[in-house]
Structure 1
Amino acid sequence: MRINIRRPKSVNEVRRMPVSILELVFTIPISRSIPNRKTETQMETVAPLENSISARPGMTAALMAETGLDEAVLRKLVHRFYSRVRADQMLGPIFATRITDWTPHLERMVAFWSSVALMTGQYHGRPVPAHTPLPIDAAHFDRWLALFRATAEETCTPAGAAHVMERAERIAHSLHIAVVSAQGCPAAPPKLF
């Protein structure tokens, strides 16, 4: 099976992509998706950006300029948010039973939000299978979004907060569908849409 993914033409086009497509784009290295091609890192060192096959660096720069987000802001957002999650009566116990060493989890979440918000491609995980076995429902997703929104509004520029919230809402929606699907039929693969 061959999947053709064309280069997005604008930041707005990337924003409209479903989370499942963004997850696919962020987890397939170019060297595997296009046979006999160098990886993005190798390409950047040997060719100018305009000749590169990857649109990612340009899209990242455009998103950073448009939203005021960068790695430092996202790191602060993630750390503040998970500090609130850990203290939350509803969400804290779910995380406490599953995460004992927070350092790697926080680094993974910074990479995730860097990939989701800035299209950096740093995250190489699979969030759906990580969430489907959890004892969570719509109320948990609503609480997660409320905490994330409050933290984003405190930490980011207004444009940055709107940008990450748009993605957070899509992610919560997709994960909720997958969790409900897995809870209804645990042996079946989760349905995302």
Structure 2
Amino acid sequence: MVSSTPDLCTEEEVSELVHAFYAKVHEDPLLAPIFNAHVKDWEQHLAKMVDFWSSTLRGTARYRGTPMPRHAQLPGLDPELFKRWLSLFHQTTRALGNAAMRDRADMLAPRIAESLWYGYQMYNNPSSLPRDLDPR
């Protein structure tokens, strides 16, 4: 298993991953309308996502935030949107030259998506048990 460590990747690689991924999101017919409606300052959002992925991949502990409440309040999300997010993320990581970084990011992304999806369901329909994303 590849662990989070400053030696896993560089800050430049993290920034490239985040910017390449969100460039795909920004153009995606399913995800772009949601992100564009709720992200008011893309520079700030990208900087926060670089901090998040730097913390996750490199162990920098720079990310400060609570993403669950913001995601849980978005209207009308469904499993297909989370699956699409994962698909675009994996498309982006396939282009990474750093195999260790790719492996770690690809292992973490489904966990992040599942966590956000579970949280979303619990917030919006607390009387039902959350359903898995099951990306297959």
Q: TM-score scaled to structure 1, two decimals?
A: 0.61
Count how many residue pairs are aligned between Structure 1 and Structure 2.
Answer: 127
Kept in 2, the 8 Å contact 1:115–1:123? The answer is: yes
Larger Rg over CA atoms: 1
**Structure 2 unaligned blocks of 5 or more:** 131-136
1:60 matched to 2:5? The reply is yes
Letter in 1 for 2:101: G
**Which residue of structure 2 lines up, in the alignment, with residue 148 of structure 1?**
89
**Which residue of structure 2 lines up, in the alignment, with residue 29 of structure 1?**
none
Task: Quote how far apart the aligned CAs of 1:60 are.
Answer: 2.5
Secondary structure of the corresponding residue to residue 118 of structure 2:
helix
Letter in 2 for 1:60: T
Q: Counterparts of 1:162 and 1:60 in 2: how far apart (Å)?
A: 13
**Structure 1 unaligned blocks of 5 or more:** 1-11, 16-58
**Which residue of structure 1 lines up, in the alignment, with residue 79 of structure 2?**
138
**Which residue of structure 1 lines up, in the alignment, with residue 112 of structure 2?**
171
Q: Counterparts of 1:143 and 1:164 in 2: how far apart (Å)?
A: 16
Secondary structure of the corresponding residue to residue 38 of structure 2:
coil
| Correspondences of 1:121-136 after superposition (within 5 Å) | 121-134=61-74, 135-136=76-77
Letter in 2 for 1:102: W
Letter in 1 for 2:44: P
Secondary structure of the corresponding residue to residue 115 of structure 1:
helix
| Correspondences of 1:1-193 after superposition (within 5 Å) | 60-61=5-6, 64=7, 67=8, 69-134=9-74, 135-185=76-126
Higher relative contact order (CA 8 A, sep 6+): 2
Question: What is the CA deviation profile of residues 162-185 of structure 1, one whole-angstrom value per residue up to 9, with x for unaligned ones?
Answer: 101111111111111101111103
Q: Identical aligned pairs, as a percentage?
A: 36
RMSD: 1.9
Q: Counterparts of 2:11 and 2:70 in 1: how far apart (Å)?
A: 24
Question: What is the CA deviation profile of residues 57-115 of structure 1, one whole-angstrom value per residue up to 9, with x for unaligned ones?
Answer: xx633xx2xx4x22100100000100100100000000111113210000000000001
CA 1:130 to 1:156, structure 2 compared with 1: closer, same or farther past 3 Å? farther
Kept in 2, the 8 Å contact 1:76–1:155? The answer is: no
Q: Counterparts of 2:28 and 2:96 in 1: how far apart (Å)?
A: 19
